[in-house]
Amino acid sequence: MNKLKKTAFDRNLPFNALPDLPPPENIIDKEILIKWGLASRALAELNKNIMRIPNPLMLVNTISLQEAQSSTAIENIFTTEDELYKAVSDTIKEDSANPAIKEVLRYREALWGGYNALVKKKVFDKTIAIKIFQQIKNTKQGIRPPQSQVIIKRGQSEFKSGEIIYTPPRGEEIVEKKMNNLFRFLNERNEFDPLLKMVIGHYQFEAIHPFVDGNGRTGRILNLLYLVDQKLLSHPVLYLSKYIINHKNDYYHCLSGVTQRSAWKPWILFMLRAVEGTSQITNQKIDEILAQMDSTHKYANSKLKWYSLELNQALFSQPYVKQKLVGEITGARSRTTLTKYMLQLTELGVLSAHEEGREVFYVNNDLIRILES
């Protein structure tokens, strides 16, 4: 009786009883294995599709922007896509971007910073998590100190606003120990497949809640980087945050289920469905972008002698394009030539020009249609 009292979950108290990983092996049953197979296959197809992209980094750029926007929207930071595209096209200085736009851009930078650190150092450890957090929140802080209390509250939009739904572990060294255990689990060879380890590890990371804020975003970036680390993806292009935001209630409910009832199954199935569905959608987007690039290139190239493959790629690496970029790639020597080029591009409908005050933005509407569909 006494023992039961000690370990029972109370959402208002720090959950120091959070069990270390690995979870019991018997959480993996037949239904999970079937879903795991489907998700793995979809992910493998995505990884193959990435190779078809002439310059993967270019598409990663566009896809990671969407990922950044969705992920940041979970925090209810509202940003219009239009403003966001302008900000990344570099036509406005980053300094003048509004705070919400800055958050989105920081998410993307954090994703890239983490990816570069991983490629260079080839170690997936808690320093990567700390780096991502620091970049997202634009801070020098690290893992939260034992004295600072963090709680997770129900979103304002739901009926009991402000109600505490979870209190993560707290105390001297406890968060550090749990983090070490988590990364040991992710890095060691054990009976769990890497995709399942990502899913299990994501719950654990959120339950540890190592930072004062930004744990959701940091955790979602870690998911992608872990897939890269485990060679399930060559580039971090899985567009997972949109699925999570579209199913936010289920996502939160499943996380709580693991904590309160050790209900791993619904959580694992939820995340595998997310991976499967998102891989398929990302694949479709890649196909559509490649097909559109091909037809844009064929058409523009048949009409304009100076239209190159390289320019075509550049026009599909972000939805808003600067005149300067076109100048650099085409090597247009004079302003008159460049103005003529821009006019020709808009006449053919490759780009459309939008004037705002004294600035002109060139928009790739075909790319936007695909990204936003």
| Nearest residue to 278 (alpha-carbon basis) of 12, 93, 46, 62 | 46
| Residue 69, binding choice from Mg ion, ligand ATP, none, Cβ under 5 to 8 Å by partner class | none
| Residue 217, binding choice from Mg ion, ligand ATP, none, Cβ under 5 to 8 Å by partner class | ligand ATP
Does 158 contact Mg ion by CB under 5 A?
A: no
Joined together, the tokens standing for residue 297 give 């290139």
- Which of the ranges 55-63, 213-221, 284-292, 306-314 carries the binding residues for Mg ion, by CB under 5 A? 213-221
| CB 196 to Mg ion: min, Å | 27
Which residues partner with 157 through β-bridges? none
| Residue 166, binding choice from Mg ion, ligand ATP, none, Cβ under 5 to 8 Å by partner class | ligand ATP
Following DSSP, what letter does each residue of 8-69 receive, concatenated? S--TTS--TTPPPSSPPGGG--HHHHHHHHHHHHHHHHHHHHHTTSSSHHHHHHHHHHHHHH
Please say which residue, 198 or 314, places its beta carbon nearer to ligand ATP: 198
Which residues partner with 164 through β-bridges? 153
Please say which residue, 81 or 213, places its beta carbon nearer to Mg ion: 213
Does 125 contact Mg ion by CB under 5 A?
A: no
Please say which residue, 193 or 213, places its beta carbon nearer to ligand ATP: 213
| CB 105 to Mg ion: min, Å | 17
Joined together, the tokens standing for residue 286 give 């890649």
Please say which residue, 206 or 229, places its beta carbon nearer to ligand ATP: 206
Residues 6+ apart with CB under 8 A from 272: 32, 35, 36, 38, 39, 195, 199
Does 176 contact Mg ion by CB under 5 A?
A: no
- Percent helix, strand and coil across the chain, each to the nearest 5: 65, 5, 30
Please say which residue, 166 or 362, places its beta carbon nearer to ligand ATP: 166
User: Binding residues for Mg ion, per CB under 5 A?
Assistant: 213
